[in-house]
Each structure stands twice: as structure tokens, then as C-alpha cells.
Structure 1
Amino acid sequence: MNELIRTHENETGEMFIGGRELHEFLEVGTRYDKWFDRMKDYGFVENEDYIAKVQKRPTAQSNVTTFTDHHMKLDMAKEISMIQRSDKGKLARRYFLEIERRWNSPEMIMKRALEFADKRVKQLEIEQEQNKPYTNFGLIVSNSDGAINIGEYCKNIFDKHGVNIGRNKMFKWLRDKGYLINTGREKNNPKQKYIEQGLFKSMPVIIARSAGNIQDSTTLITGKGQIKLTEKLLEEIGAGQ
């Protein structure tokens, strides 16, 4: 089948027709913008039946001008072609019907499925490559709730990355970076916004004293927080320091 009017396919596999290309093929005498405004009055809805595309092109005076094109779905292009009531309109409509028939054939459905699968495999390969920095530390940790206290975290990053920073220095580093509250009764507790981001937890604990038990809290670093803080520590301090 000869290509009378060029079609476009988006990333989800939907087929579109350029409004200006259809306008040119139909040999409409009215200027494109006015013609399209009139076509919209037939009940077509932006972002459902078509997408407006603002584009740029050079002028004869070496300037740049902007213009609006519209990517129409196949159903809209068919209906607009029929509305024209011209030989070109009938030809365009038959052409779009044939495209639709071929598009929905078992062979084309299988082809699109294979293409989608191929894209998914490539996407997973990219994600795997991006996740490589996490593998030594344990990607499972980043996806779990494995929250640990500051002392355990200091031991882990020394064992796995050679980052030698003690518990007290780690608390100071976290306060200096703004993750923990710096003064007052809640000193060394995580700030609320970092709890909401899933980096820390504040775990209530009961401390037994002769005058009576009191409630305090322990700062825990979540799996997500361990990944983020380790990245920052490695950038700032470096392994084996």
C-alpha cells in the first residue's frame, strides 16, 4: 500500500496523523489554523482525540517562528476526512480504514508485542546497569525495611567499604548535614522530613532508672537511608579513609 499520508507512532504504540499533513493532502483552501478550529467544533477533545504540538521553523529572513501542529488519532483523522465531502476526503478515509485493518491484523499485533518485549528487556538492562553501584552494599537492603542503629551502620560501612567513622563522629556528621536535630531534648533524633522521606526511623525505648522508667528514642537508619548516606560518605570521605 502506497503511503498517501504519513503516520506516526508514539512510544505506547498509538498511531497519529499530523494535522498539517492531512490539511495539505485534502487540499483545503482555508488556512490551517482556522480550518482546525472549525474541525474542533465537531466535538473533538484535546489530549483525548489529538495533541497540540508547538514547533519552530526558520523563516526566509533567517529568523525563527513558532507554529502549532496537531497529532490526531486515527479515528479523528477518519472522521475529519469524511466531513470534507470531497474526493480527496473519501480517498483519505479509505486509506485510514486500510491502515486500521492492517494495524489490527494478527501479524501486526504480534510484531508490536515483540517490539514491546524488546524495549522492556533493554529497559531492564539499563536499570540493572544503573543499580550496579548498589550491589556491593546490598540492593536488597535498599528495598527492605532493614533499619539499623547508628553503631551497626558504622560497623557495616567499615566492613563493606572501609569507611572508618565511629558512632559519635557519625552522629556529628549527621547533625552537621542537617539530618538530625542539633540541640535540645530531641538532639540526635531524625528530622521529620527525613523520616517522611523514608531515610530514618525514631524507635521509642524505655530506659530503666531508680527514680522510675523514662521513655526515650533511638535513631534507626532504614535500608533506603543506608544507601543514600553511604553514597554521600563515599563521595565526601572515600573508601579506606
Structure 2
Amino acid sequence: MRWLIALLLLAFPVAAEEVVLGLSQDEIAITTSFDGSEIFVFGAVKREAPIPEGELGVIVTIAGPSVPVTVRRKERRFGIWVNTDGVEIESAPSYYAVATSANLDEVLSVRENLRHKVSVPSMIQSVSAPNTVLDASAYVSALIRIRENSGNFQLLEGKVVVDDETLFRTRIRLPAALTEGAYETRIFLTRDGNIVSQYETAIDVRKVGLERWLHSLSRNQPVVYGLMSLAIAIFAGWSASAAFSLLRN
């Protein structure tokens, strides 16, 4: 029996370090007044032995639901801007943030990055381009640049604070334009660029109240939603015209 237990321990070694995680909130409600949210991620490193050798790194990622994306090039023709060639991206996260305790290339090796898909470019998969497109990577770079400018892609190097190689914390800002769904949250512990422990959870993002009702109405009864939008536009126009007439008199 003892030799069997020893074999099992060798086959399934106990992790030297594990993540104990906390989130300021695991649900986000999108209302008509929603203008974004800030997630406070904090945790500790649980150990059953003395601190191992090597530099400790902590990486926190939050990924929104992945969706297909078409990226098109715009060119000026006959005095107007028109869409020309396009590249189909099968899967790209609607939101993605990476926060690290140091520069990403210092806390994570290239091999581990490819294996676990941590960096922003590694999360974009299956690019399909027509024969007229010679450099599909330029379209991927354009998508990343556009979403970085809008705050939907974030690389927050050095934003994870680590105290005494045990406690860590960071804040990640989520923009107002969020896609509904589960936002996968991952925490990696690294030593000398190699991942030694990983923890996963999810943040649920949902529309509620009037925002939820309008969203459901637009999807389930588009005719009613269109007529209601038209009526509101007409009423708003009439109200503005009446107010202007009163001011003039």
C-alpha cells in the first residue's frame, strides 16, 4: 500500500505555490447610466514550503466573450473613402486586459505565452485573408490598435503590486461598451518566466432594468422597437420645435 501511495504522489505532485484569489465583484450590471466599472483583483500566494528560488511574477488577465471580426482597409477613391480588401478573424475577444507585476517579457517566456495565450496578439485566432491581401498581420495589428485606443484592449505592465512575494493586488478598468457574457479571469504565478500556478474564475456581465428590456425588445420584436424609436424621435423633434417657438415669442 505504501508503494502505491508513493507512486500516486509522484504522478500528482503537490504544487509548491497556489493562488488564493479575491474579486471586488463577480457580477457587473449594465444599466442605462452605466459608464464603465473598475475591478479590484487581490489575492495571496499559498505555500506549503519555503519560498522557492527565482523571481516571482504575477499576471492577471480578463477576457470578454470572443466574437468573429471583419477588418477592412479604407482607401480614398474618387474623392470618397470606401472599404476595399478585408480580412476575416474567426475569434477575437471583445475585451481583453493583461496586468503584470513587471514587463510581460520579463515575467513570462515566449513558450509559456504561446502555450497559455496570455498576450493580446495570442488571443486573436484563425485569420482568413483573400489572395489580394499580402500582409494579413497588418490587419490584425490595426484591430489591436483600434481596440487599444478605445480601451477594449489593455496591456498594464507593472500594475500588479506584490508585497513580500505573498500578497498581490491590481485594478483593471472596464469600459462602458461591454459585451454581455462571462468575462474569464485568469491569474498566473511565474518563476523565471515559467508558470508554476494558475487560477481561473469568471465575472458575469449582464444588462438589467430598462437597458435589458430595450435590448430584448430590439432582438425579439424589432418592428415594435422600430416604431417605438420612431415615435420617440418624432416626439423629441416636436418638443424641441415647440420650445424654440416659445423662446422666440
| TM-score (norm. length: structure 1) | 0.21
Considering Cα pairs closer than 8 Å and 6+ residues apart, tell me whether 1 or 2 has the greater RCO: 2
Larger Rg: 1
| TM-score (norm. length: structure 2) | 0.21
More strand by share: 2
More helix by share: 1
